[in-house]
Structures are given as C-alpha cells and as structure tokens.
Amino acid sequence: MTGHDHDYTLHIAERALERMKALSVPADPAGYELWYSYVSNRNPEMNRRIDRILDEKGSLSAFDLDEIYDEYLSSSRTHSELQQVGTDVSREIDKIVAMLSEFILSTSQERGECSNASQQLAQSTDEGTTRAIVDALINSLRSVEVRHAAMEQRLNAAKREMELLQCSLATVSIEANQDPVTGLANRRGFNTAIERACDRAADDPRAFCLLMLDIDHFKNFNDRFGHVMGDSVISLVGATLKQSIKGQDFAARYGGEEFAIILSDTALADARKVADRIREKIMDRELKKRSTGESLGKVTVSIGVSAYRPGERPRAVVERADKCLYEAKHSGRNCVRCEGDGADMRGNAA
C-alpha cells in the first residue's frame, strides 16, 4: 500500500468515526463498515437512503441501521456465498470428468488386451496355450468388473455431493432475493423484476405502473412497542400486498417500512384504484398484541404511483413514484398520489 493510499484510508476511517460519534450510533464492526462505506461513497444508493432518513427523522435508529446494513452490505456476503458454491460445483464437475477420463482410459486398455487375446486364441492350436490365454482373459475381465464397481461407487458419491451443492445453491439464491420477514422479494429481487419489466415494455407497448408504499409513522410505532411488534406490522402489510396482487404483478419489500408493487398491463387510472384498495385494506386491519389481545391501533400507508414511459429505465420510474409517495406523506398521509395530477384519494389522516 502506498503512502497516499494509507493517508486516504486513514482519512476515510477518521471521517467514518466522526460521523458515528456525531449521530451517537454504536461503534461496532458492522456500524464501522456501514459508515466507512458511506463516507467513501462506495454505494451511492445506500447513501441516498441514509440521507433521506436523516432528512426526515434527523437521526438513525438501530433498527434503521440494521435494515440498511442487511440490504446493502450483507448482500455482498451473499454474493460471495454464491461464488463459493459455484466454485465447489465446478470443482466437483472437474472431479467427475477426471474420474470418467480415467475409467475410459483403463477400459480402452482392457479392450486392447481382449482384442489381442482374441487374436491369439484364433491362432492357438495348443490346449495349454489356449487355457493360459483364457485364464488371462478372465482375470482381465474380472479386473474390469472390480474397477467398474469402484467407479460406480465414486460416481454415486460425486452425484450425492452435486445434489447437496445444488440444494445449497438454490437456498442461497432464494435467500439472496427474498425478505425473511414478509416472504416477499427484497430490494435485489425488485431491481431484477423492474429491469425485466422495462425490457419487456421496450418490445411490448402495454404499460405497467409502479406503486411505492410507505407505512405511516412506523418509527413511532416501532419505538413505542418494540422491534418484534414492528416486524408484525411489516408482516401484516406484506400479507395484504400478497393478497392484493395477481397474475404477473410483483410485490417487494423495498427496504425498511417501504414496499414496491409492479402492476403489469395497467393504466395509471387503474393503478390508482388498486393503490387505494390496498390502502383501505391495510387501514381496515386492526393490530392486536397476541399475548393480551390489547389493541395497538390501526396501520395506515401512503402510496405514490407512476406509469412507465416508453424507452425509460427503472430509475426514472422509481424516482417519479418516490416523488409521489413523498407528496402523499406531506399531504397528511394515508392517501394516494399519482404523477400528472394534484388529486389524491384520502382516507382518515394517520
């Protein structure tokens, strides 16, 4: 490492620690990794997320930090796990190919010996010589049989190992794209889905719309009742979204208390209706503490809606829906805002 590199990394480290001290966040390894990444601007999307929360709340809770770390930094570890499993699969395939090559070579040698023995038998007239050739041939065939049985065992073992690796690869792949609390897709899964939606729309003029949904006053609820009940709210909203979509529609937990829904083949006016139905369904659900039956009140959401425009990429669609979402927040919450008009469909303000 050059002196310049050392000075730079030391400067970044100092700034990261200053940031952590100013915000009074835990100085643990995960927190340091997050703020080092923030100060060095390694992940601009993560920085925008942090800045948005700070602008709204003025601070970051431990829950916020855990969510951001899981979403943006632990995903790199998942990528490493996928790479490692892929490497193990490749190694196992190489092992199988080597075993088969070895078996083919030994079998070809035995075929050559059998061919020579056949020629000798055809030329032999002496009984003793014939018996010796036959005995040698039998021994050779027995050797092939033994090697064949051993090879079969090795191939079966390799097959079992491959099956385990394939299961591991499938599990890691699912976990990499799924939110554990709601069972919906996570941010990574959403990014893949909206990329595909834009690609399809480039060849197919049928529109899709995007809903960005945020739980109202979630931080207050989380601080008052704790993270366990906070997860219950997240789970409730996730379940409602699952029940509200159909066909090619796609729902994801975008991050924290924010969700996203891609509505396929849907015009903006229809997307607004879907959004308001979702808002009403969530508002109609009363959250209760399971142990005591105590009512914890209603949950409400604010929703922003945008429509895909020909030729654009995902970021533009998301930014417009996000802008509408914050218009809904600033309009009193528990309402829907669509791009292109100032109208909203309001329920009782949360």
Catalytic residues: 257
Q: Phi-psi bin for 226: left (phi > 0), alpha (psi -120 to 50), beta?
A: left
The DSSP secondary structure of 268-321, one letter per residue, reads: HHHHHHHHHHHHHHHHHPEEE-TTT--EEEE--EEEEEEE--TT--HHHHHHHH
Q: How many CA atoms lie within 13 A of 337 on its CB side?
A: 23
C-alpha to C-alpha distances, 122 to 116, 133, 146, 253, 261, nearest whole angstrom? 10, 11, 27, 78, 79
Task: Say how far apart CA 254 and CA 261 lie, in whole Å.
Answer: 9
Tell me which residue of 263, 186, 227 sits closest to 65, measured CA to CA: 227
C-alpha to C-alpha distances, 36 to 41, 187, 233, 257, nearest whole angstrom? 8, 22, 31, 24
> What does residue 288 show for φ and ψ, rounded to 5 degrees?
-125, 150
Token reading at 229:
């009940």
Is the CB of residue 236 less than 8 Å from the CB of residue 218?
no
Bridge partners (DSSP) listed for residue 250: 262
Tell me which residue of 332, 277, 271, 281 sits closest to 304, measured CA to CA: 271
Is the CB of residue 131 less than 8 Å from the CB of residue 164?
no
Token reading at 71:
């979403």
Tell me which residue of 282, 273, 281, 286 sits closest to 336, measured CA to CA: 273
Helix (H) or strand (E) holding 220: helix 218-225
Token reading at 70:
């899981």
Residues 6+ apart with CB under 8 A from 132: none
